[in-house]
């Protein structure tokens, strides 16, 4: 027997709708009516006699615990039990855990082209504080893993505040430390979950964490979040023949088309593509692998490529790409394309973020720097401080970030904000309910969504 998604959604919509009705019907009784009752006792000798009722009124915590928590605990239990029971009976999945049931639901919906309504337009906006001494940047990605168009559905609308607590310097290779703070979180048993009441959010992810800038001089092959997988991405190590250590020259000659540059963004050296107008120069580095399978790169994980680039020469032209590629030269994820005619003689940060779908990860991977149009004769492209790194997830179902140093180190008390907007005012009722009661995306489970869903949000009703 196979799960009938329409019948399943109808029943689950009733449970979700009932959960929503608790807040809209019971909470006003306490927030408005009880407040009115207590006001008549204010300033009298009888205030203590209604103290037990006063304890029920807590605008900061939402619904009073003795009714709200019991109701919400019961509905949460019923929702999880129903999802598990439906998958057990219809799909013969027996281990009895909500995670397994949700993953099976995801697989069934995907196989049958079923979907829920997507949360409305989302966005993430990074802003460096005016007056910062450091000129680095923060790269943030809020898309679902293995997608470049669908935002995470469980992001909290809030402003994340970053503050530099340890500045970058020569000793730590520019790896400054930032604290990142979000708005305080509310539990799912709270009537104000997830973002409080009114038009201004008063609750969010509750994130309190520290991140360290990803430095090209600090590397690891184990796939650690926030640590570069590329060795000698700072191009400080060269052979006597002017070959960059740990890099393979595929096309071009060391000391001619491939140069040890002396105009770095940081440190002492940089990589230089010297143009002759003909050669399609190419160098690459194999990403750490074991027995032919990637040991450090995983499917459905957010990654970034970032570096600094500039040009020299008169009216430079040419196109150079930087990308993760397989052994056949196919781009894996997304590439950075450098049109030398648009670059300047000052270093500028270049970046891209992406993830790879499960089943689409090749067995051999290279970080590739290659010309597709030859660099103009007597002109050069300079690249420095190259990183390829897993991004740092801030919380389950939330955005991922990378902090990057730039050519001038971050200093203590440099700061930034990331404005996160997840607009669920009119759409995404099913998905938001799954988030609240089942923690779906927080567990890495991504139910299919679309702008024209097969399972209408209108089913979330009593």
In this predicted structure, what is the pLDDT of residue 52?
65
User: What is the layout of strands, in order, in the sheet containing 158-166?
Assistant: 122-128, 415-422, 158-166, 177-181, 208-212
* Sequence-separated contacts (24+) of 74-83 with Cβ below 8 Å: 75/15, 75/18, 75/19, 75/22, 75/437, 76/19, 76/188, 76/189, 76/437, 78/15, 79/12, 79/15, 79/16, 79/19, 79/437, 79/438, 80/437, 80/438, 82/11, 82/12, 82/15, 83/12, 83/438
Q: Which of 25-39, 137-151, 196-210, 320-334 has the lowest mean pLDDT?
A: 25-39
In this predicted structure, what is the pLDDT of residue 57?
55
In this predicted structure, what is the pLDDT of residue 363?
85
The values of phi and psi at residue 76, to 5°, are -60, -45
Question: Rounded mean pLDDT of 17-33?
Answer: 69
What is the topology classification, in CATH, of domain 248-343+358-385? Answer: Jelly Rolls (2.60.120)
Q: How confident is the model at residue 59 (pLDDT cuts 50, 70, 90)?
A: very low
Mind listing the pLDDT tens digit for each residue in 186-227?
888 777 777 654 455 567 888 999 999 999 999 988 889 999
Mind listing the pLDDT tens digit for each residue in 64-73?
445 566 778 8
Task: Check if the beta carbon of residue 335 is closer than 8 Å to that of residue 168.
Answer: no
Question: Rounded mean pLDDT of 16-27?
Answer: 76
> What percent helix, strand, coil does the chain show, rounded to 5?
20, 30, 50
Domain residue spans of the chain: 5-118+426-459, 122-215+393-422, 248-343+358-385
* Sequence-separated contacts (24+) of 12-16 with Cβ below 8 Å: 12/79, 12/82, 12/83, 12/430, 12/459, 13/430, 13/459, 13/460, 13/461, 14/459, 14/461, 14/462, 15/75, 15/78, 15/79, 15/82, 16/79, 16/429, 16/430, 16/433, 16/437, 16/460
Average pLDDT score, the chain: 89
In this predicted structure, what is the pLDDT of residue 411?
98
In this predicted structure, what is the pLDDT of residue 441?
94
Per-residue pLDDT at 76 exceeds 50: yes
3-state secondary structure of 283: strand
Can you name the residues that pair with 251 across neighbouring β-strands?
A: 282
Question: Rounded mean pLDDT of 83-110?
Answer: 94
Mind listing the pLDDT tens digit for each residue in 2-16?
999 999 999 999 999
Per-residue pLDDT at 61 exceeds 50: no
Q: Which of 151-165, 186-200, 261-275, 448-462 has the lowest mean pLDDT?
A: 186-200
Question: Rounded mean pLDDT of 275-292?
Answer: 86
In this predicted structure, what is the pLDDT of residue 390?
96
Angle at 75 between CA 72 and CA 81, to 5 degrees: 140
pTM of structure:
0.88
Q: Which of 342, 303, 309 lies closest to 323, judged by CA?
A: 303
Distance CA 218, CA 209 (A): 21
Element (H, E) at 290: strand 289-290
Angle at 34 between CA 32 and CA 37, to 5 degrees: 110
Distance CA 270, CA 347 (A): 11
Q: How confident is the model at residue 46 (pLDDT cuts 50, 70, 90)?
A: low
Mind listing the pLDDT tens digit for each residue in 336-353?
999 999 999 999 999 999
Mind listing the pLDDT tens digit for each residue in 318-339?
999 999 999 999 999 999 999 9
Residue 159 makes CB contacts below 8 A (sequence gap 6+) with 182, 183, 417, 418, 419, 420
Distance CA 99, CA 102 (A): 5
Task: Check if the beta carbon of residue 324 is closer than 8 Å to that of residue 305.
Answer: yes
Angle in degrees, 0-180, between the axes of helices 5-21 and 429-438, rounded to the nearest 10: 70
In this predicted structure, what is the pLDDT of residue 184?
85
Q: Which of 110, 122, 104 lies closest to 438, judged by CA?
A: 104
Distance CA 89, CA 220 (A): 46
Mind listing the pLDDT tens digit for each residue in 405-425?
999 999 999 999 999 988 766
Can you name the residues that pair with 181 across neighbouring β-strands?
A: 161, 208
3-state secondary structure of 78: helix
In this predicted structure, what is the pLDDT of residue 67?
59
Pairing of strands 415-422, 122-128: antiparallel
Per-residue pLDDT at 56 exceeds 60: no
């Amino acid at each position: 027997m196979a799960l009938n998604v329409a019948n399943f959604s109808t029943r689950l919509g009733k449970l979700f709708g009932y959960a929503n009705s608790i807040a809209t019907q019971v909470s006003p009784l306490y927030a408005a009516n009880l407040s009115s009752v207590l006001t008549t006792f204010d300033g009298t000798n009888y205030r203590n006699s209604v103290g037990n009722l006063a304890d029920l009124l807590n605008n900061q915590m939402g619904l009073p615990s003795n009714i709200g928590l019991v109701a919400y605990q019961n509905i949460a239990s019923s929702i999880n039990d129903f999802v598990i029971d439906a998958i057990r009976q219809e799909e013969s999945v027996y281990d009895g855990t909500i995670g397994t049931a949700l993953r099976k639901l995801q697989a069934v919906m995907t196989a049958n082209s079923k979907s829920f309504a997507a949360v409305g337009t989302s966005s993430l906006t990074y802003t460096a504080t005016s007056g910062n001494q450091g000129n680095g940047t923060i790269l943030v990605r809020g898309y679902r893993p293995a997608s470049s168009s669908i935002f995470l559905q469980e992001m909290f609308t809030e402003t994340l505040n970053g503050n530099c607590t340890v500045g970058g310097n020569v000793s730590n290779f520019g790896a400054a430390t930032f604290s990142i703070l979000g708005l305080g979180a509310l539990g799912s048993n709270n009537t104000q979950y997830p973002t409080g009441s009114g038009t201004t959010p008063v609750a969010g992810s509750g994130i309190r964490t520290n991140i360290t800038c990803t430095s090209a001089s600090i590397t690891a092959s184990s796939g650690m979040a926030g640590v570069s997988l590329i060795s000698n991405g700072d191009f400080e190590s060269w052979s006597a023949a002017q070959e960059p250590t740990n890099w393979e020259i595929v096309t071009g000659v060391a000391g001619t088309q491939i140069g040890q540059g002396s105009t770095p963004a940081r440190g002492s050296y940089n990589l230089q593509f010297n143009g002759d107008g003909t050669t399609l120069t190419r160098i690459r580095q194999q990403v750490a692998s074991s027995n032919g399978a990637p040991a450090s790169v995983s499917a459905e994980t957010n990654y970034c490529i970032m570096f600094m680039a500039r040009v020299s020469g008169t009216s430079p032209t040419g196109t150079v790409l930087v990308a993760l590629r397989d052994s056949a030269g196919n781009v894996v994820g997304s590439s950075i394309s450098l049109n030398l005619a648009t670059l300047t003689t000052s270093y500028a940060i270049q970046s891209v973020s992406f993830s790879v779908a499960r089943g689409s990860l090749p067995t051999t991977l290279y970080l590739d720097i290659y010309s597709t149009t030859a660099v103009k004769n007597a002109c050069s492209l300079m690249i420095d401080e190259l990183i390829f790194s897993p991004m740092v997830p801030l919380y389950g179902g939330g955005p991922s970030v990378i902090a990057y140093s730039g050519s001038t180190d971050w200093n203590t008390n440099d700061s930034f904000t990331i404005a996160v907007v997840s607009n669920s005012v009119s759409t995404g009722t099913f998905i938001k309910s799954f988030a609240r009661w089942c923690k779906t995306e927080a567990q890495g489970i991504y139910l299919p969504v679309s702008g024209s869903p097969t399972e209408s949000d209108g089913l979330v009703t009593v």
